[in-house]
Structure 1
Amino acid sequence: MHRQLATVAEPSRRPSQRDAVGEDATLKKQFGIAGTAGTAALIVAATVMPAHAVTYGTPTISLSAGYLSGSVNGVGDQTVAVTVGQSGADASALTVSASASSKASVAGTGDVTVIGSGAVRQLAVTAHARGYTNLTVKVTGLGGKTATKTLSYAASAAVQNPADARYFSGASDTSAAVDVGGGYTVVADDENNVLRLYDRSRSAAPVRTWDFSSQLGVTKEVDIEGATRIGDTIYWTGSLGNNKDGEYKAPRNTVFTTTVSGSGPGTQLAYGRSYKKLRDDLVAWDTANGNRYGFAAGTAAGEAPKQIDGFNVEGLEFAPGSTTTAYLGFRAPLAPAVPGGKALLVPVTNFDQVLAGGAKAVFGAGVELDLGGLSVRDVRKNAAGQYLILAGSWAADDNSDPYALYQWDGVPGHAPVKRADLPTTDPGGWEAIVEVPDLNAPGARVQVVTDSGSADLYGDGVEAKDLTHPEWKKARAAWFTLN
């Protein structure tokens, strides 16, 4: 048995100097210590334990989304959060990069930028061509250990003035937008009943969403096409028309309200009330007035809504200085229903009571506006009572026909004035005005959003509304300077 480093003296005698010297020599021999280092070396050898080697676990990596959309020459495109970690290592010691691309012509590994050094990093992609690629995102930890995730990336084509373009992802068929302050807007989609809150300054997914289908008592889309706000109440209207196959679908004959609380990113919506007979009231009113606008014929079975003599509502805004009379803006029909006909607005003089208590709608005389043969795709006013009308074709769901912005004072009989022609070379049809600026201010700018549902965004022949992944669906919001 090995002798202990410390010995206990026998009670009968104290250890002598000779004993100590002998003990020291014996221990030196036992531990293989030679020379004059003596007792100090012996103490070190006896007290220092060998250190264990540090071990590191396999790194972990997760993405905030597995699918991402960008655009060629995009400015401020959406990013993905990458969360990494490794047992035994600080997150700052880990590196994140793209290690492979399935189609480098769209975006290669060198086109991936990772920002940040902590546990959560932001990953951005610069696109070079329209199309798809799968990017392998790799985290490298200590000990040379790695882990990967795949990011499926889709890039849309370059557009005019990309610095003024932002993309609202999650849906592609934007049909109405309402400003809620703080640089945020609530956007409706005509393919579902989900309302989405977006930061107007960023290409991003919605901050939050609301779906009031259950409160509305519907399982199909209301086909929301117009909206306006009075105080803390937002009024929404369906198209009121048949579907594209000429079939009557009851959910489309819906107008409803939501109540707003908060603003900006803290905006909340609560369901208010609904009314489901406005289409019937309009047809009865027009019939009683000699079928001036052909509403009965436009709503007949088999009649598609987007015809020059069809029936389709796409705009909603209150009359000047009023909280009771609201204008319904018609995409179809034109008045008269011939090429070059005028755009039609119909005032509902008790619109507040229609929603508040279910009163039958009462109408004023139709307002016919010369928009150069175009119809109403949206109408919006500001606090100063300045109106901006988004004019487009009664037919086109894309950019194949002209679009323009007209200023108006909201007074029947007063002519609107064109302020801008909108570009039609890029995908999507212009559909919604977010907010009206001071139209008398030099260089006034307005943000307009597209309905991109029918657009082939990525060059594969698939319409945006039919894309499998909602992250790849998107609508373009662009800023324009008015003349």
Structure 2
Amino acid sequence: MRNGNCLIFLVSGSLLVVPAPVKAESRSYVGICEASAAALIDASHVAIASDDYDAILVYERGKPQSVARLEVSDATDIEAAARIGDMIFWLTSHSVNKNGEDKKKRKVLFTTKVGANGELSNAGPVYRNLRADIAGALGRREGRLAPFFNIEGMTATPEGHLLIGLRGPETIIGDKAILVEVENPMQLVSIAASEAVAAKIARVVTLDLSDGPEASGRGVRDIVRVDDRYLIVGGSEPDGDDPPPKLFWWDGKSGDDATPGPHVDFSGMTPEAIIAWSNHDGEVFSDNGGAMIQGEECADKAPPVGAFFPSLDIQF
């Protein structure tokens, strides 16, 4: 039987309460398949980046075709985005590539400016030393950390800081996910490259994104602020591995206190980006790389005709 937002089953004489799935509407956007980062432009438009494409695309909510694009020439493997004022911060994975090579274009924090009419333009210099800054905050040497390091999520705090979520390493102590708070993001992209500047790490938070004691943990695939709390997309470090993707709430104040978020069925999806359209609804975007389109695996270095990525509307 159903009671509010729960399903209640009678099992061997006892009650088992299971959260009912939150209403979710699926749709697809076209042009690329490896959607990996998203940021709100206005109440009906979103900017989407791919981890392997040379442009940021702007979509109107629910409309499959992009309405604008901004070329990106000096960054690849974009995995996270967050908006502060009229600036959108974009962050690459800072990971080594599949061949173990440490590419300069994969270690970039850069910004775009949102104009009065919603158009995007490049803004400010880039910052390339974030991995070293985070390694220091984690008490690791960068060279030892680099093979396991992977940024996947980012959002802004009310104070204008950046909360950066790591997909890997997903374990420091106790198989917990890692969030790093950077308190001077504007400074990082506004000071000339010749001047000494470093990210000020305000805190490092570890969160249990597992399904309970003895269960495997999850890394952060993305994070978004919703009013006075944060909604996190947790996922396994390898794609398509266990545990499956899941949403979590975090109050933003302390570690180890993530709670289950809206119960959404992500079957067949690799959720990599999330936005909040309002304090009551949002949208999750999936990386569709590797999907078979016209007989070939979709990849955004050269997206085939018909390339698309799915999304889910969610309510909370």
| TM-score scaled by length of structure 1 | 0.55
Q: Which residue of 1 is the match for residue 132 of structure 2?
A: 280
Contact 1:400 1:424 in 2 (8 A): no
Is the 2:282–2:315 contact (alpha carbons within 8 Å) kept by the matching residues of 1?
yes
Q: Please name the residue that 1:453 is paired with.
A: 289
Counterpart check, 1:315 vs 2:157: no
Secondary structure at the residue paired with 1:280? helix
Matches of residues 4-403 of structure 1 in structure 2 within 5 Å?
Answer: 164-202=25-63, 204-213=64-73, 218=74, 221-262=75-116, 266-273=117-124, 274-286=126-138, 289=139, 291=140, 295-299=142-146, 303=147, 310-319=148-157, 321-323=158-160, 325-336=161-172, 341-357=175-191, 359-372=197-210, 373-382=217-226, 384-396=227-239, 398=240, 401-403=243-245
- CA spacing shift, 1:259–1:436, aligned 2, 3 Å: same
Q: Quick one: which amino acid aligns to residue 224 of structure 1?
A: I
Larger relative helix fraction: 1
Give the whole-Å Cα distance in 2 for the aligned partners of 1:349 and 1:250.
Answer: 24
In 2, distance between residues paired with 1:377 and 1:322? 23
- 1:282-318 deviation line (CA, Å, top 9, x unaligned): 33444xx3x3xx753231xxx3xxxxxx100011122
Residue 185 (structure 1) shift: 0.5
**Residues 412-471 of structure 1: CA deviation (Å, up to 9, x unaligned):** 236121113442432x30111022632xxxxx432100000123356x4x3221796543
Q: Deviations over 1:3-45 (max 9, x none)?
A: xxxxxxxxxxxxxxxxxxxxxxxxxxxxxxxxxxxxxxxxxxx
| Count of aligned residue pairs for this structure pair | 285
Q: Which moved more, 1:177-186 or 1:250-259?
A: 177-186
> What is the correspondence of 1:414-429 to structure 2 with a 5 Å cutoff?
415-426=257-268, 428-429=269-270
Report the Cα distance in structure 1 between the residues aligned to 2:96 and 2:111, rounded to whole angstroms: 22
Identity %: 29
Tell me, which stretches of 5 or more residues in structure 2 are unaligned? 1-20, 211-216
Separation of aligned partners in 2, 1:369 and 1:469? 36
Q: Deviations over 1:351-398 (max 9, x none)?
A: 22111215211213310011111110001113x2321111111111x4
- Deviation by residue 1:233-291 (Cα, 9 ceiling, x = unmatched): 111101111112211000111000111013xxx521111121122123333444xx3x3
Q: Is the 8 A contact 2:33 2:300 kept in 1?
A: no
Deviations 1:155-188 (A, max 9, x none): xxxxx99982221111111011111114111101
More strand by share: 2
Q: Confirm or deny: 8 A CA contact 2:32 2:303 kept in the other structure.
A: no
CA distance in 2, matches of 1:452, 1:400: 18
Against the structure 1 CA distance between its residues 174 and 468, is the aligned structure 2 distance closer, same or farther, given a 3 Å change threshold? closer
Larger CA deviation: 160-169 vs 244-253 = 160-169
Q: Which amino acid aligns with 1:223?
A: D
CA RMSD in angstroms comes to 2.6
**Which string of whole-angstrom CA distances, capped at 9 and with x for unpartnered residues, describes residues 107-160 of structure 1?**
xxxxxxxxxxxxxxxxxxxxxxxxxxxxxxxxxxxxxxxxxxxxxxxxxxxxx9
Does the aligned pair in 1 maintain the 2:293–2:304 contact within 8 Å?
no
Contact 1:335/1:368 (<8 A) preserved:
no
Task: Say if 1:369 and 1:415, in contact at 8 Å, map to a contact too.
Answer: yes
- Which runs of 5 or more residues in structure 1 are unaligned? 1-159, 304-309, 439-443
Partner deviation per Cα, 1:31-67 (whole Å, 9 max, x = no partner): xxxxxxxxxxxxxxxxxxxxxxxxxxxxxxxxxxxxx
Deviation for aligned residue 1:225: 0.5
Q: Which of 1 and 2 has higher RCO (CA within 8 Å, sep 6+)? A: 2
Using the size of structure 2 for normalisation, the TM-score is 0.82
Separation in 1 of the partners of 2:301 and 2:186?
A: 38
